[in-house]
Structure 1
Amino acid sequence: MTTRVLQMDLALAPSDIGGLSGYDSARVLLRYGRRVVSEVSVPIEDGVVTRAAVTAALNEDRAARARLSERIVEEHLIRPVPASSPSWSVVVCTRDRPELLRRCVESLIGENDGSGEIIVVDNAPTTDATARIAERYPVRYVREDRPGLNRARALGAQLALGEIVIYTDDDTVADPGWVKALLSEFAGARVGACTGLTMPFELETEAQELFERYGGFAKGFSRQVFDLTAISPAAAGAVGSGASMAFRRDLILSLGLFDAELDLGTPSRTGGDTYALYRVLAEGYRIAYVPDALNWHQHRREHDELHRTMSGYGTGLYAFLTKALVEDREMSALRVGIRWFRKHHLRQLARAITRRPNHLSVGMVMAEIKGTLVAPLAYVASRRAERAREHENVRGVGKGAA
């Protein structure tokens, strides 16, 4: 089954959408103007998604109908971004994926009204392809030759000129207004970070469908504000992801949010974004989740890529929890880890084995479970490697001084 990703603006009295031959169904993101409402899944018949099918699906979702009513009211009372909106820097960390980067940067150019900048951090590149792409666009290009996504994120923050540092990945596409929606939340009291809604760019393969069935990156269609009264810091994975997140620059620097022991380029594999969000919550700041801050993610197209990704997610999540427990003495990390393994991993495995409706593949579930089981050792390996690098740096400085 092949699914087409579509959008429909309910403010425009939408009509049927044709030209969809070859697709069985559609995932339709519903909006009212620029405001996100919900999404519905509808069949494609004779190459057409009918307005009637979308309306029927919307009418079956009471929460979506309520959000639509709210959006209609808010569209006329919407709170604009203040004239004194903070300056900003978008940081795109990339490694050897020039064509994905090109598409990402092109989507970001229109976001800059002169109040911000776009920084491309080329992490341990093996060619100059990324540099050649970057020189075509009004962006700042920098290299971080030490491998590690969190190293690239940290360098981007150090060099950023903006008060707010916004992060995304090279496999995303920003929807118009993405930056403005993220910035609007920083007027709130003690808001230290903001995350946005990330939807699938396409669902053309079974692997992409499986990732969305797993949950994808979306965290819902209602604005939420998280703090210590609403969520345990160790459950920060529920708040957002590195595909769409923004922080106050001074917090990044003062708290050292992007630890080199985590994420791509280390044995921990992922988890750097979740740890950063965890630290913001643990320090008593709020994190706003804003679905109107919308971007689109290119999911892995092939099963082998997906399995590697899921294994990495399992390792990274539990490496982050290990770090929070061991280094920060965050006891809730143990509770979150046990609860997530029991309620998520084991439940997904049971559904896959019994082939319940909308089940995942056993291979995909096991890839993530295997990743979780090696996570503590992976974190220890990451930590030792980082300590060894620090020791070598100190020795190098000492030799230079001598």
Structure 2
Amino acid sequence: RGVKACRGYPAAFAYLVGNEIPSDIVRWHGSKKVRAFLKELMAVAKDSDPDALVSYANYPSTEYLETDFTDFLSFNVYLHREEDFRRYLARLHNLAVDKPLVLSEFGADSIREGTQAQAKILSQKLSSSFEMGAAGTIVFSWTDEWFTGGFAVEDWAFGLVDRDRVLKPAFHTVQKYFTASVPPELPEYPKVSVIVCAYNADRTMDSCLASLKDLSYPNYEVIVVNDGSTDQTLEIAQRYDYIHLISQENKGLSVARNVGLAAATGEIIAYTDSDCVAEPDWLNYMVGKFLSSDLKAVGGPNFPPPEDSLIPSCVAVSPGGPTHVLLNDEVAEHIPGCNMAFRREVLEEIGGFDPLFRAAGDDVDVCWRLQDKGYTIGFSPAAVVWHFRRNTIKDYLKQQRGYGKAEALVYFKHPDRFNLLAQSRWLGRIYGDLSSAILLGKPIIYSGVFGRGLFQTLYEPPASMLSYLPFTLEWNLVGVIFLVCVLLAGGNVLLALTPFLLSWSLCAIGALRAKIDPRFRGPKARLLVALLIYLGPLVRSWERYCWRIRELTKVEPVGFEEVIQKRRICWQEGAFSLSYWTEAA
């Protein structure tokens, strides 16, 4: 009834179907039941007002309560120390993934903190929220006059005005931030060179360059390196007179990136791909991260945009796409090549990109070389680009083959960063990839008695090699051998298929968890995603082995100098002796 009464009201921004369900209630009933209840409430609200935005106001004590069915992520956060607040805000951005983050409640008590301290705390919270890309904030509260259960609350005063509606200093602070531009102005605007390397990208090139033309950052240039395209890529790029266009014969991605670097005039070098569309404030948040730290490299997330047909929608949610790997909520182990930026001098210090990598692997190599030099890579979750995935199954499998080749080439440069199966051994958590959702269990809640701590610390164990085994080529090869042996021995066929049944079961689980576009969600889409989950790693592994064998044939065996010293043999003692260089002196 409440939603129907407010339907169409111009001042109604969104509906919250609940607020801070106590953690002991959630633990008692179980997060699944509470989640289902909230999802049902959201459906009721949507039925009453289909065009409305709906969410649930969560809070840190029940951070583990997943509400990915809402239109935006909403959290109430009371943290007065700016450093703590910014760290938790970074975490919330990663929980929100590609949805807007709204801080639905925060404030400070002027009785305990004082009116000036209240204003200072709110200033820190609001500046941090907007600098880090929050979609919105709600300050608690307007007035000190507050009632609970029909009784006046008199032992705290969170209002921007007191009970007599007299303005506090916090009022003017909030007014300043709520009337200022978003994102906030930066203290300086160093020149940024945005480099786009393109090869046969006519499907997405126009959208990419149109988005870069409309960036809100005031001091940047765009350099497009056409790497020998044979389609309409060059013609499309020539329509945009604001870019610096370089056209060359096909030399591979890394060479193209280095050509762009050589032509750049900016202090910061930012890379995105020709199949990406940048958010208007992309560079503002990227540069803001550089200016607020001493980082030499910063990356951001890339999300697949909505597609218009079933196959591209299924490919978009299948594993194997470009992802970021985070050591914590603000430090990255890997940033994808479609959304990465560097201080120019650091990129030149390591010699730019290795020409060995013609199509993929260049970003992994650069990230690891930077870390080997002692540099830290930052992550800005608000610096978003939308990345079109492959639009056919053939192109998807071709991409996985390319990644397999790249992994083999990277292996020979960084063998210590690979496991026994020649797969990348990441120390951090992989974000934005369906495989992590399949392989990792639910996080363990262990903060507070019965998990009722104010701020939950969720322990998410890193995926081990064993968890990846059912998806590997090696597992399936052993499965084939086991199947043949059992059949030859006249054994049980079902037993013989056990390795494959395990793999297929995990693929089915992954397909059920995949967030397929609701327009195409159905059995056909689920089956296709399950098939891609199964085929992708196999194709990737096969190509990885082929290229490892090919590269190993080029390795010259280590030679040893012949021993020119003759052994002195004493037959009576049954011994021989040799003189070393230390003895010769």
Fold agreement, TM-score > 0.5: yes
Query: What is the distance in 2 between the residues matched to 1:324 and 1:220?
Result: 17
Which residue does the alignment assign to 1:170?
A: 274
**TM-score, with structure 2 as normaliser:** 0.49
Query: What is the distance in 2 between the residues matched to 1:344 and 1:58?
Result: 33
Deviations 1:62-104 (A, max 9, x none): 7863634399774444445643332110001101223511110
SS in 2 for 1:136: coil
- The gaps in structure 2 that reach 5 residues or longer are 1-10, 16-38, 60-64, 68-72, 77-91, 93-101, 107-121, 132-183, 426-462, 473-499, 515-528, 555-585
Query: What is the distance in 2 between the residues matched to 1:71 and 1:378?
Result: 54
Query: What is the distance in 1 between the residues matched to 2:539 and 2:320?
Result: 19
Which residue identity does 2:306 align to in structure 1? E
Which residue does the alignment assign to 1:369?
A: 538
User: Are residue 55 (structure 1) and residue 55 (structure 2) matched?
Assistant: yes
For these two proteins, the number of residue pairs brought into alignment is 329
Instruction: Tell me which structure has the larger Cα radius of gyration.
Output: 2
**TM-score, with structure 1 as normaliser:** 0.69
Query: What is the distance in 1 between the residues matched to 2:264 and 2:105?
Result: 34
Which residue does the alignment assign to 1:69?
A: 103
User: Are residue 304 (structure 1) and residue 394 (structure 2) matched?
Assistant: yes
Which residue identity does 2:243 align to in structure 1? V
Shift of 1:220: 9.1
Which residue identity does 2:382 align to in structure 1? D
Which residue does the alignment assign to 1:5?
A: none
Which residue does the alignment assign to 2:417?
A: 332
Query: What is the distance in 1 between the residues matched to 2:347 and 2:104?
Result: 34
Which residue does the alignment assign to 1:145?
A: 249
- Whether contact under 8 Å (2:298, 2:340) holds in the other structure is yes
Highest relative contact order (Cα 8 Å, sep 6+), 1 or 2?
1
User: Are residue 245 (structure 1) and residue 340 (structure 2) matched?
Assistant: yes
Going from structure 1 to structure 2, the CA distance change for 1:379 and 1:319 (only over 3 Å counts) comes to same
Going from structure 1 to structure 2, the CA distance change for 1:287 and 1:171 (only over 3 Å counts) comes to same
Which residue does the alignment assign to 1:281?
A: 371
Moved more, 242-251 or 105-114: 105-114
Going from structure 1 to structure 2, the CA distance change for 1:175 and 1:13 (only over 3 Å counts) comes to farther
Query: What is the distance in 2 between the residues matched to 1:178 and 1:137?
Result: 21
Which residue identity does 1:281 align to in structure 2? Q
Aligned pairs for 1:339-378 (under 5 A) are 342-344=466-468, 346=470, 350-353=502-505, 355-356=508-509, 357-358=512-513, 360-375=529-544, 377-378=546-547
Moved more, 197-206 or 336-345: 336-345
Which residue does the alignment assign to 2:581?
A: none
Which residue identity does 1:372 align to in structure 2? S
SS in 2 for 1:288: strand
Going from structure 1 to structure 2, the CA distance change for 1:116 and 1:382 (only over 3 Å counts) comes to farther
SS in 1 for 2:537: helix
Match 2:299 to one of 195, 200, 207: 195
Moved more, 292-301 or 182-191: 182-191
Which residue identity does 2:55 align to in structure 1? T
Which residue does the alignment assign to 1:225?
A: 330
Deviations 1:227-268 (A, max 9, x none): 7xxxxxxxx4xx32111111111222220231111141xxxx
Which residue does the alignment assign to 1:111?
A: 215
Larger strand proportion, structure 1 or 2? 1
Which residue identity does 2:424 align to in structure 1? G
User: Are residue 208 (structure 1) and residue 313 (structure 2) matched?
Assistant: yes
Which residue does the alignment assign to 2:407?
A: 317
Match 2:353 to one of 233, 253, 258: 258
Query: What is the distance in 1 between the residues matched to 2:548 and 2:105?
Result: 44
Query: What is the distance in 2 between the residues matched to 1:50 and 1:58?
Result: 22
Query: What is the distance in 2 between the residues matched to 1:166 and 1:140?
Result: 15
Which residue does the alignment assign to 1:93?
A: 197
- The gaps in structure 1 that reach 5 residues or longer are 1-11, 17-39, 228-235, 265-269, 326-330, 386-402
Identical counterparts, % of pairs: 20
Query: What is the distance in 2 between the residues matched to 1:250 and 1:298?
Result: 31
Shift of 1:302: 1.6
- Whether contact under 8 Å (1:223, 1:289) holds in the other structure is no
Shift of 1:191: 1.1
Shift of 1:195: 0.7
Shift of 1:346: 2.8
- Whether contact under 8 Å (2:471, 2:537) holds in the other structure is no
Going from structure 1 to structure 2, the CA distance change for 1:376 and 1:272 (only over 3 Å counts) comes to farther
Going from structure 1 to structure 2, the CA distance change for 1:55 and 1:220 (only over 3 Å counts) comes to farther
Which residue identity does 1:65 align to in structure 2? F
Query: What is the distance in 1 between the residues matched to 2:543 and 2:464?
Result: 16
Deviations 1:304-359 (A, max 9, x none): 2222222322332343233212xxxxx23347636776433635884534532337
- Whether contact under 8 Å (2:193, 2:221) holds in the other structure is yes
Deviations 1:188-211 (A, max 9, x none): 544121111211112442343343
Indicate the RMSD between aligned Cα atoms, in angstroms. Answer: 3.9
Going from structure 1 to structure 2, the CA distance change for 1:287 and 1:296 (only over 3 Å counts) comes to same
